[in-house]
Structure 1
């Protein structure tokens, strides 16, 4: 066991979680990777894997944290790519109970994954102080969790809320537009229905995001809402066309076939000054 203490990561088998686990291990940290029962395959073999239903009533956090735990990173979430799934609201209290129990167990640093969908419709750069007005059940649930943990957990531990934006990379493992492009090509489709593509988003590669999450989670003294982002708005069309070119995909986009979602902003990004400073001053 490292003298630095172990780092517990929930959702360790997930799209983001697998990369966070590896980033921490590469930095020489001991990692406890928490996954759902039967979901251990694919987790970095250097981690200690614990299979548990962490959101079940009566779950005992002693199964995943102890006095040697230096940090707890809560990434687990169901239906993250289905923004209006009822499960977001059904599981909200379970997430609150879990993180609260971890704080009460004496873990000194707690980091929880958030989303820019907490903000709702907004134009411009998002900061920690930007008001939230979510327009999807996913955003509503995440925003409620953030508010409740800032009130209940933040006074007890060093608490960070990791606000993420639009993620790409490792595209066989998610359910994004990039995944759907690959699937369309495999199905032999020459084109794919698309929105106007004009909206500008803050895109970040999943490995860069994992490095940011690991850095923030281990940065003693850093608390509050932290944008895990590139800080650069790029049009959806540019990023997707770039993906098609980079991977030499024989497919075109049918622009305007789908309407833009009413809760997506014309141009939005995370102001990344704080994360850039952290990455420069506290490398893993």
Structure 2
């Protein structure tokens, strides 16, 4: 019998891809979200709210073997107050799942937990987040490791970096360029584009996520990323060219964000080991 995985935020930008990859891997998928219009119909739809005080919440969510917690509001609006306001609910949800004895929890993290940092980021890199998004994810990670410290629950904190692909449905700069091109705009206001970041295509990211949750040998903080620093300008110019767009970048129209590092990327030692050993 295949393992049951509950995927929260299943209808989101990352979620719908994770759902499909998990199904293709042979897992039974319990998909939790407010709507299901973009989700593979092979899932078991979970309509019971995950942020609920229900004493039988674990059972009402399908008694999963694995939880992949992707649900998060305003992920692309880094200083939205929603991040702080929702934090207690994320904590309460995870605490209930741990108390119910769930075997494995994987939660989506972000490189924005780190704050300003130059060079490679690994599991030991100190965190000093500078946005409400980063602060909230950083706090949730600390809480999760704290509440699972003396339990049997395996914890995998999936720290993502910059994601490209399926751009028309995202809210990233690439999605905004798609929209501007379709609106017939000739120029797109841009930063200097000199900063180097770690970019990964959504399909590669999802493969890393699903392979990670199908094993328990590797746990803790796991970077899901490419490990290759590339300038934002190169990524965006390539994106425009590959899509045959006519829009031009207006360099320097926006200042670089003060909390964005000149050059930072993921140490991918752990995820490379996982993929080598378990991506069958």
1:94 aligns with 2:92: no
1:166 is aligned to: 162
Q: Which residue of 2 aligns with 1:268?
A: 264
TM-score between the two structures when normalised by the length of structure 2: 0.96
Q: CA deviation at 1:56?
A: 4.0
Stretches of structure 2 that go unaligned for 5 or more consecutive residues are none
Query: Is the Cα–Cα contact under 8 Å of residues 228 and 275 in structure 1 kept in the other structure?
Result: yes
Q: Paired residue for 1:192, among 163, 188, 191?
A: 188
The offset of 1:89, in angstroms, is 0.4
Alpha-carbon distance in structure 2 between the residues aligned to 1:174 and 1:154: 35
1:1-284 alignment to 2 at 5 Å? 3-36=1-34, 39-58=35-54, 60-66=57-63, 69-156=64-151, 157-283=153-279
Deviations 1:31-72, CA, capped at 9 Å, x for gaps: 111111xx1111011111112332244472321141xx2211
Look up the SS of the partner of 1:202 in the other structure.
Answer: strand
CA contact (8 A) 2:7 2:31 kept: yes
Secondary structure at the counterpart of residue 162 of structure 1 = strand
CA distance in 2, matches of 1:223, 1:190: 47
- How far off its partner does 1:101 sit? 1.0
- Secondary structure of 2:167 counterpart: coil
Partners of 2:166 and 2:207 in 1: how far apart?
15
How far the C-alpha of 1:16 sits from its partner, in A, is: 0.4
1:55 and 1:91 in contact (8 A); partners too: no
- 1:185-243 C-alpha deviation (Å, 9 max, x unpaired): 11111111000000000001111111111111221232100000000001000000000
Alignment check: 8 A CA contact 1:8 1:72 kept: yes
Greater shift, 217-226 or 137-146, is seen at 217-226
TM-score (norm 1): 0.95
